[in-house]
Amino acid sequence: MPKDCFYCTKDAKLDALMIELSRFPASTLYLSKDQTNPGRCIIALNDHQTELFYLEPSIRQQFMEDVSKCAYAIQQAFSPDKMNYAIYGDLVSHLHVHLVPKYKTGNDWGRAFNNNTDNINMLSTAAYLSLIERIKVYLK
Protein backbone atom coordinates (compact mmCIF):
# COMPACT_ATOMS: atom_id res chain seq x y z
CA MET A 1 0.00 0.00 0.00
CA PRO A 2 1.61 3.28 -1.07
CA LYS A 3 1.83 5.79 1.78
CA ASP A 4 1.01 8.67 -0.57
CA CYS A 5 -2.28 7.17 -1.85
CA PHE A 6 -5.23 8.78 -0.10
CA TYR A 7 -7.57 5.99 -1.24
CA CYS A 8 -5.36 3.57 0.71
CA THR A 9 -4.52 5.74 3.72
CA LYS A 10 -8.01 7.32 3.88
CA ASP A 11 -6.44 10.50 5.18
CA ALA A 12 -7.48 14.15 5.44
CA LYS A 13 -6.91 14.72 1.70
CA LEU A 14 -9.55 12.08 0.90
CA ASP A 15 -11.92 13.65 3.45
CA ALA A 16 -11.44 17.07 1.85
CA LEU A 17 -12.49 15.76 -1.57
CA MET A 18 -15.20 13.17 -0.93
CA ILE A 19 -17.46 11.37 1.53
CA GLU A 20 -17.64 7.60 1.78
CA LEU A 21 -21.10 6.50 0.66
CA SER A 22 -21.01 2.70 0.50
CA ARG A 23 -18.63 -0.27 0.46
CA PHE A 24 -18.82 -3.20 -1.93
CA PRO A 25 -16.70 -6.38 -2.21
CA ALA A 26 -14.33 -4.88 -4.78
CA SER A 27 -14.80 -1.14 -4.34
CA THR A 28 -15.92 1.83 -2.30
CA LEU A 29 -18.32 4.50 -3.54
CA TYR A 30 -17.70 8.11 -2.56
CA LEU A 31 -19.79 11.24 -3.07
CA SER A 32 -17.65 13.99 -4.51
CA LYS A 33 -17.76 17.17 -2.45
CA ASP A 34 -17.69 19.06 -5.75
CA GLN A 35 -21.31 18.85 -6.85
CA THR A 36 -20.99 20.99 -9.99
CA ASN A 37 -22.57 17.94 -11.65
CA PRO A 38 -25.34 16.97 -9.18
CA GLY A 39 -24.84 13.37 -8.10
CA ARG A 40 -21.16 13.12 -9.06
CA CYS A 41 -19.44 10.22 -7.34
CA ILE A 42 -16.15 8.35 -7.46
CA ILE A 43 -15.85 4.59 -7.15
CA ALA A 44 -12.42 3.30 -6.13
CA LEU A 45 -11.03 -0.21 -6.11
CA ASN A 46 -10.56 -1.41 -2.51
CA ASP A 47 -7.05 -2.73 -3.17
CA HIS A 48 -4.32 -0.54 -4.59
CA GLN A 49 -3.94 -1.16 -8.30
CA THR A 50 -3.18 1.21 -11.15
CA GLU A 51 -4.81 -0.31 -14.23
CA LEU A 52 -7.87 -2.36 -15.12
CA PHE A 53 -5.75 -4.79 -17.12
CA TYR A 54 -3.71 -5.72 -14.02
CA LEU A 55 -6.79 -7.01 -12.19
CA GLU A 56 -7.59 -10.68 -11.98
CA PRO A 57 -10.59 -11.32 -14.25
CA SER A 58 -12.96 -12.04 -11.35
CA ILE A 59 -11.95 -8.80 -9.54
CA ARG A 60 -12.22 -6.80 -12.78
CA GLN A 61 -15.68 -8.22 -13.39
CA GLN A 62 -16.79 -7.43 -9.82
CA PHE A 63 -15.36 -3.91 -10.03
CA MET A 64 -17.19 -3.21 -13.28
CA GLU A 65 -20.40 -4.64 -11.77
CA ASP A 66 -19.94 -2.23 -8.85
CA VAL A 67 -19.40 0.66 -11.28
CA SER A 68 -22.55 -0.27 -13.19
CA LYS A 69 -24.64 -0.66 -10.03
CA CYS A 70 -23.52 2.74 -8.73
CA ALA A 71 -24.06 4.49 -12.06
CA TYR A 72 -27.58 3.03 -12.18
CA ALA A 73 -28.30 4.32 -8.66
CA ILE A 74 -27.11 7.81 -9.62
CA GLN A 75 -29.22 7.69 -12.80
CA GLN A 76 -32.31 6.76 -10.80
CA ALA A 77 -31.67 9.35 -8.08
CA PHE A 78 -30.86 12.35 -10.31
CA SER A 79 -32.19 11.58 -13.81
CA PRO A 80 -29.22 12.98 -15.73
CA ASP A 81 -29.36 13.08 -19.51
CA LYS A 82 -26.10 11.08 -19.73
CA MET A 83 -23.63 9.41 -17.40
CA ASN A 84 -19.95 9.99 -18.10
CA TYR A 85 -17.32 7.52 -16.86
CA ALA A 86 -13.85 8.98 -16.41
CA ILE A 87 -10.75 6.95 -15.59
CA TYR A 88 -7.56 8.99 -15.41
CA GLY A 89 -4.82 8.03 -12.96
CA ASP A 90 -1.93 10.23 -13.96
CA LEU A 91 -2.27 12.33 -10.76
CA VAL A 92 -3.84 9.72 -8.46
CA SER A 93 -2.63 6.31 -9.60
CA HIS A 94 -5.11 4.25 -7.54
CA LEU A 95 -7.72 2.75 -9.90
CA HIS A 96 -10.92 4.77 -9.62
CA VAL A 97 -13.77 5.88 -11.86
CA HIS A 98 -15.47 9.27 -11.81
CA LEU A 99 -19.21 8.80 -12.30
CA VAL A 100 -20.30 12.14 -13.69
CA PRO A 101 -23.97 12.79 -14.37
CA LYS A 102 -24.31 15.21 -17.28
CA TYR A 103 -27.31 17.44 -17.87
CA LYS A 104 -28.31 19.14 -21.12
CA THR A 105 -28.93 22.31 -19.12
CA GLY A 106 -25.48 22.08 -17.46
CA ASN A 107 -22.63 24.36 -18.41
CA ASP A 108 -20.45 21.45 -19.56
CA TRP A 109 -22.94 19.60 -21.78
CA GLY A 110 -21.23 18.49 -24.98
CA ARG A 111 -17.74 18.76 -23.50
CA ALA A 112 -15.53 16.28 -21.71
CA PHE A 113 -15.72 16.21 -17.93
CA ASN A 114 -13.23 18.65 -16.43
CA ASN A 115 -11.93 17.49 -13.05
CA ASN A 116 -9.85 20.63 -12.51
CA THR A 117 -12.55 23.25 -12.55
CA ASP A 118 -12.04 26.60 -10.87
CA ASN A 119 -15.75 26.88 -10.05
CA ILE A 120 -16.45 23.95 -7.73
CA ASN A 121 -19.83 23.66 -6.04
CA MET A 122 -19.37 22.81 -2.36
CA LEU A 123 -22.48 22.10 -0.25
CA SER A 124 -23.45 22.02 3.41
CA THR A 125 -23.08 18.82 5.43
CA ALA A 126 -26.87 18.45 5.47
CA ALA A 127 -27.03 18.78 1.68
CA TYR A 128 -24.35 16.10 1.21
CA LEU A 129 -26.22 13.74 3.55
CA SER A 130 -29.41 14.33 1.58
CA LEU A 131 -27.65 13.42 -1.69
CA ILE A 132 -26.19 10.31 -0.11
CA GLU A 133 -29.62 9.16 1.02
CA ARG A 134 -31.05 9.74 -2.47
CA ILE A 135 -28.38 7.48 -3.96
CA LYS A 136 -28.56 4.79 -1.25
CA VAL A 137 -32.25 4.22 -1.99
CA TYR A 138 -31.23 2.74 -5.36
CA LEU A 139 -28.13 0.79 -4.30
CA LYS A 140 -30.11 -2.13 -2.93
Task: Report the number of distinct structural domains present in the chain.
Answer: 1
For residue 15, what are the contacts with CB-CB under 8 A and spacing of at least 6?
Answer: none
SS3 45: strand
Fill in the amino acid letter for 126. Answer: A
What band does 117 get if pLDDT is binned at 50, 70 and 90? low
Whether the predicted model's global pTM rises above the 0.75 cut:
yes
Residue 126 lies in a domain: yes
Alpha-helical runs (H) found in the chain: 6-9, 12-17, 57-78, 125-136
Residue 1 lies in a domain: no
Q: Does 107 score more than 90 pLDDT?
A: no
Question: Which residue range(s) make up the domain with 55?
Answer: 6-136
Residue 57 lies in a domain: yes
32-66 pLDDT tens trace: 999 999 999 999 999 999 999 999 999 999 999 99
The fraction of the chain above a pLDDT of 70, given in percent, is: 99
pLDDT of residue 61: 98
Cα–Cα dist 42/31, whole Å: 6
The rounded mean pLDDT for the chain is: 95
Residue 24 sits in a domain of what CATH number?
A: 3.30.428.10
